[in-house]
Structure 1
Amino acid sequence: MSSTDQDAMEQHRDEQALLTALDAADRMPDATRLRARTYELLAPAPGSTVVDVGCGAGRAVGELAGRGVHAVGVDPGRAMLAAARERWPGAEFREGTAERLPFADAGVHGYRADKVFHILAEPARAVAEARRVLAPGGRIVLVDQDWDALMIDSDDAALTRTLVRARADLVDAPRAGRRCRALLLDGGFEEVAVEVATSVFTEPGALTLLARLAGSVRAAGVVGHAQADTWLAEQRRRAEAGRLLVAVPFFVVSASAPG
């Protein structure tokens, strides 16, 4: 097998692992409630156009379409877009980035970005682009977690702190959630409001997320295989005993484009 083929196989495995992790997170009751809250804050009129930036596998696009909205998912990942089109064949998906959206000026009535801004090197550029594509009075809703504030119950508090901080350091903008209010104010948006929703995960499905956390920190060389494996083994025991607990604070920031 050529190195090119190996790289392609590894990329496919990574994409499938990411889809699995996203699916596990999306199915959690708190995640379902949080998505519904973003739809309420968008308050889209029937038939209006809403863009879901960083749409991933398209769940929010499908749910918004079910509410009578013309929802358009935008994502830079072709594999994600392929998965979204397969899962939601009646919905519209386009390739693009938060900094460069495939819409005309004032071409949409709502803008939603869920867990996107923490991976952006220049989030202010994305805010400027959101301002460009939103019609006057259009609504924007940003959701992002605070990676420094991730809470995981564990018998080894010191190692857990190390893992959480190291994972945060691997994120482009780990404190993007707490910065979104200032970003929208600086971008000229009006009626900026902030809510904080803490999602609590106690079901075994959260193990997928914890495994990705430990794996990324281990790959960065912060902890060794033995430490990561021991920590994950404890989390699995907790899940089996019904004692798993992961809490993630999400900032939900909404605003209106100037009229």
Structure 2
Amino acid sequence: MTKETEHDGRSTDGLIARLDAADRLPGAHELRSLTYDVLGAGPGKSVVDVGCGAGRAVRELAERGVRAVGVDPSEQMIAVARGRWPEEDFRLGSAYELPLTDGSADGYRADKVFHELAEPERALTEARRVLAPGGRIALIGQDWDTVVIDSDEPALTRTLIHARADRTTAPRAARRYRNLLLDAGFDDVAVEVHTGVFTGPAMLPLLIGLTEGARSTGVVTDDQADTWIAEQRERAETDRLFLALPMFMATATAPR
């Protein structure tokens, strides 16, 4: 799910709907809260949420007493965030050029962002600039090659997953988090994996989207796409759907 790209109004509406749906998935709130914990986000602390989207994390951080700033490159997304949470601080900007002064943030958070960045090294240089010495960073996102889906057609399923990865700027960014942070000069680098397991119909839109994208680019035929979607629908209806989505969380400390 993309948050660090520009969108027209129609695609922004669709993106917001997908992000809202993702925020409601089982375990999503707990995973967001974990990122706040590892940042030490509490009263008096300042945190920048990069690629903030519609602003839910900024609001949740503010409820902890944090001085939170949400940054997103989309004017439409910032407008939505301000409409939902008018009392919070949302600013237009990109991961490469954050609208913050040097050393002004105690924490830096980027959730489902780095897989859309062509220059992650540049983004981490900017993270170093805005973080105070000893400040904490948390990166979280999926590796688009490591989506696990049960299907009677495993070869076709692999094709669909890889086709989706190929349409992403940096589909394997999450597996690079540790080395990227080390190369950027961060200390105390650690990586955790939190895997969501989904067995109900809530994930059907994601599975259908996976298939339609491959169909639209000619990677699979209409018959293949229709057959695969029909199988997943039947699995959802009979409580046999299985999807596992590993989320990688990397944390580190800015040098003192």
TM-score (norm 2): 0.93
Q: Which moved more, 1:89-98 or 1:236-245?
A: 236-245
CA contact (8 A) 2:41 2:61 kept: no
RMSD of aligned residue pairs (Cα, Å): 1.5
Matches within 5 A, 1:1-259: 11-259=8-256
State how far apart, in whole Å, the 1-side matches of 2:63 and 2:201 are. 29
Deviation at 1:240, TM superposition (A): 1.8
Q: Which runs of 5+ in 2 are unaligned?
A: 1-6
State how far apart, in whole Å, the 2-side matches of 1:241 and 1:203 are. 9
Cα deviation digits, residues 60-86 of structure 1 (max 9, x gap):
111111111111111111221122112
1:6 counterpart residue number: none
State how far apart, in whole Å, the 2-side matches of 1:134 and 1:26 are. 27
CA contact (8 A) 1:218 1:225 kept: yes
State how far apart, in whole Å, the 1-side matches of 2:188 and 2:31 are. 20
CA contact (8 A) 1:24 1:206 kept: no
State how far apart, in whole Å, the 1-side matches of 2:43 and 2:129 are. 22
Percent identity between the aligned chains?
A: 61
TM-score (norm 1): 0.92
Are the structure 2 counterparts of residues 240 and 39 from structure 1 closer, same or farther at C-alpha, using a change threshold of 3 Å?
A: same
The one-letter amino acid paired with 1:220 is T
Deviation at 1:52, TM superposition (A): 0.5
Deviation at 1:230, TM superposition (A): 2.4
CA contact (8 A) 1:25 1:206 kept: no
The one-letter amino acid paired with 2:117 is L
State how far apart, in whole Å, the 2-side matches of 1:215 and 1:14 are. 16
CA contact (8 A) 2:42 2:64 kept: no
State the aligned residue count.
250
SS in 2 for 1:148: coil
Q: Which moved more, 1:180-189 or 1:219-228?
A: 219-228
SS in 1 for 2:41: coil
State how far apart, in whole Å, the 2-side matches of 1:88 and 1:240 are. 37
Cα deviation digits, residues 208-256 of structure 1 (max 9, x gap):
2222222222222211333223222222222222222211111110011
State how far apart, in whole Å, the 1-side matches of 2:77 and 2:232 are. 29
SS in 1 for 2:42: coil
The one-letter amino acid paired with 2:178 is R
State how far apart, in whole Å, the 1-side matches of 2:93 and 2:164 are. 27
CA contact (8 A) 1:30 1:200 kept: no
SS in 1 for 2:96: coil
State how far apart, in whole Å, the 1-side matches of 2:227 and 2:11 are. 23
2:4 counterpart residue number: none
The one-letter amino acid paired with 1:210 is L
State how far apart, in whole Å, the 1-side matches of 2:186 and 2:67 are. 23
Deviation at 1:199, TM superposition (A): 1.4
State how far apart, in whole Å, the 2-side matches of 1:246 and 1:61 are. 29
CA contact (8 A) 1:76 1:97 kept: yes
Structure with the largest fraction of helix = 1
